Structures are given as C-alpha cells and as structure tokens.
Amino acid sequence: MTRKVDPGNYFEDFAVGQELRHATPRTVTEGDVALYQGLFGSRFALQSAATMARGAGFERAPVDDLLVFHLVFGRTVPDVSLNAIANLGYAQGRFGATVYPGDTLQAASTVTGLRETSNGKTGIVYVRTTGTNQRGETVLAYDRWVLVPKRDAGAAPPEPLVPELADAVPAGELRASWTPGDGYDLVHAGSPHLWEDYAPGERIDHVDGITIEESEHMTACRLFQNTARVHFNQHVEKDRRFGRRIIYGGYLISLARALSFNGLQNAQTVSAINGGRHTNPTFAGDTIYAWSEVLERIPLPGNDRLGALRLRTVATKDRAAADYPYKGEDGTYDPSVVLDFDYTVLMPRRGTVGG
C-alpha cells in the first residue's frame, strides 16, 4: 500500500534558509468575522460597526487584526508546528494592508534559526512568516519559534543559529491604517480616555474573567485551520506530559485582547506584536483574567491624530488580576501566568475626534 499522507516535519527536516510555501489560501468571509466575535466577544468599535469604521477612514468594518494573525498562523501549522510540543514565542510582528471580508490570505515562511535543546530529543525552530493578500500586499509579517521533537534522538544536531530579534517594532515602522475624525464617536467607542490619558508604568486590571470551554477552543482551532496535534488528539496526549490537550496559545491572545477592552476601549487596532510568550499551559475549564501595563506612549512621526501605546498584557488562569501577578523575585513567572504579550496599539489623540 502506498502512503500519501504527510506526517509533518520533525527537527531534522528543517534547514536554515529553507523556504516554506504553505497550502490552503483562505478567503475571509463575514461568517468568519461573526464566528470570531462569537468566540471571543471583542467589543472594539471599528471592527464592530461599519459606521464607526467609515468615520475613521476605512471603507467598511475591517477584519480584526488578531483574526488576521490567526488565519495567517493557521496556514503555517502543517509545515512548521504540526508535531510541535509548544509554541514558544513571537517577535517583530508588523501588520500591513487592511483586511476586509472577501480578501484571500496566503502565507510563506523562511527558517531563520535552529538550536537543539539540552536533552537531545527536541529542537527549537525559528521562522519568519509573511502573510499576503490576493494583490500580493503584505498583511502581516512576524517571527516565531517552536519546540519540535526529533524523529531520531541520535541524529547529529545542526550548527546552532539563533536569529537576532528586536525588542520592539520602531515607531517609524508602525503603519497608521486609519485616521480618527469627527465621525469617531467616543460614546460609541465606549470611553472618553484617549492617548494622552495613559502614562508609562500605569497598570490596568481588566476585572472580568472568562472560563474556557473545550467546545469553544476546538471551534476556534478549526476556524483558524490550526491542525497542531497537541490541541486535538486526546488519545495520544493522555500519555504525554500533561495528560490532556492544551489550549492553543493564540486563543489566549485573543481572549486577553477582548478582556482588555475594559480599560483600553479606544485602543482600536493592533499595529505590532513586539514579543510574546506562552508561559504556562492552559486547559479547558481554566478561567482567564488579564491586566495590562503601559510600557511606552509613542508619538507617530508626522501624525498628530493617532498615537501608539506599547502595552504588556498578562493573562492569568484561575487567579484574578487585582494584584497584578507576574514574576517572582527569582525572575520566573508566577504559576498562574499563562501569557506575557508585548504589543503596540493605535489610539486617537485628544482634540482630533468628535463627542
């Protein structure tokens, strides 16, 4: 019997400089947008109301930036992380052309680094992924690194190479994709607080908590076409480290972003993903809370209508965020912390919008 299935790549299958063109382009539909809203409940006004979007210079309500991220990410999984043990982090993420329902997204990745781990059984694979639309415009480009098992623990490791990754996307590389004006309504946005009202070092407890349901997580993975086995196959995972399927880390990013609306209502779009780590595993039944810290308040060169906020949003499981759990004195993450996400959002400046 011939075998035509793809078992996915193991650590030995990757080489620095390798180009990966990913299968299954995805046309984004209104149904995708509605299902994403139903899964995470995000309330940011520009993605929720065409009237608000047109008042900010969009032709209509754009697709949520993180839905774009997930759909691009999902293209890459069969080639990069189908067999991954864990997705370890992100860096240097830049959002580009606005995505609307009807656009078709595809993705390609380049292997930028490899390093075998100390146990000799796994390795870390670094990739740079670029998502483009049907016109060839970049909608998102980002780096990520994943922990992948070796097919043969005795295989000789490659020469280690860890790419240099910037701590944050510079202000001059942030794309201002919209322009607030008189059509931007602060009442409809949900808050009077604008860019000038946030100070570096300020911490915001987003108050609310959401319990993850198994059915919602599985639906999200299928929506994004994320096929990583650690999220799906309980028959195999019951015999591994945690004994059960783990929640896709990107699910937590979207959940934390939705929770952050309460306190950051005018942070309408995500312009950059500076860095991110999934610090502890999450499982169905965990209740997620979030808090954010303002890391920087960044003027945009030549733009007096929008400002950027660099934020750290921390998600916790089964622990409210009122005391801002993060790291202990030894520098290790508190066991309740499941996400440490460093990203940049765009927000109107005072005096540039309507009431």
pLDDT in tens, 262-317: 999 999 999 999 999 999 999 999 999 999 999 999 999 999 999 999 999 999 99
Q: What local confidence, expressed as pLDDT, does residue 86 receive?
A: 85
Write out pLDDT tens, residues 107-119.
999 999 999 999 9
Mean pLDDT for the chain? Answer: 94
Report yes or no on 5 lying in a domain. no
Q: For the domain that residue 344 is a member of, what is the CATH number?
A: 3.10.129.10
**Residue 354: pLDDT band by 50, 70, 90 thresholds?**
low
Whole-angstrom Cα distance, residue 304 to residue 66? 26
Report yes or no on 288 lying in a domain. yes
**Residue 216: pLDDT band by 50, 70, 90 thresholds?**
very high
Report yes or no on 229 lying in a domain. yes
Q: What local confidence, expressed as pLDDT, does residue 334 receive?
A: 97
Whole-angstrom Cα distance, residue 167 to residue 170? 9
Report yes or no on 83 lying in a domain. yes
**13 residue type, one letter:** D
Q: What local confidence, expressed as pLDDT, does residue 243 receive?
A: 87
Does pLDDT of 85 surpass 90?
no
Whole-angstrom Cα distance, residue 50 to residue 270? 18
Q: What local confidence, expressed as pLDDT, does residue 182 receive?
A: 78
Report yes or no on 109 lying in a domain. yes
Whole-angstrom Cα distance, residue 76 to residue 20? 8
How many domains does the chain fold into? Answer: 1
Write out pLDDT tens, residues 182-200.
789 999 999 999 999 999 9
Range of the domain at 255: 11-348
**Residue 250: pLDDT band by 50, 70, 90 thresholds?**
very high
Report yes or no on 3 lying in a domain. no
Q: Please give the full DSSP string across 220-276, using - where no structure is assigned.
A: HHHHHT---GGGT-HHHHTTSSSSSPPPPHHHHHHHHHHHTTTT-TT--EEEEEEEE
**Residue 355: pLDDT band by 50, 70, 90 thresholds?**
low
| Residues 327/330/332/333 CA torsion (nearest 10 deg) | -20
Report yes or no on 1 lying in a domain. no
Write out pLDDT tens, residues 4-32.
888 889 999 999 999 999 999 999 999 99
Whole-angstrom Cα distance, residue 166 to residue 288? 29
Please tell me the pTM assigned to this model: 0.95
Report yes or no on 2 lying in a domain. no
| Residues 200/203/208/212 CA torsion (nearest 10 deg) | 80
Does pLDDT of 51 surpass 60?
yes
Unique residue bearing structure tokens 């622990």: 319
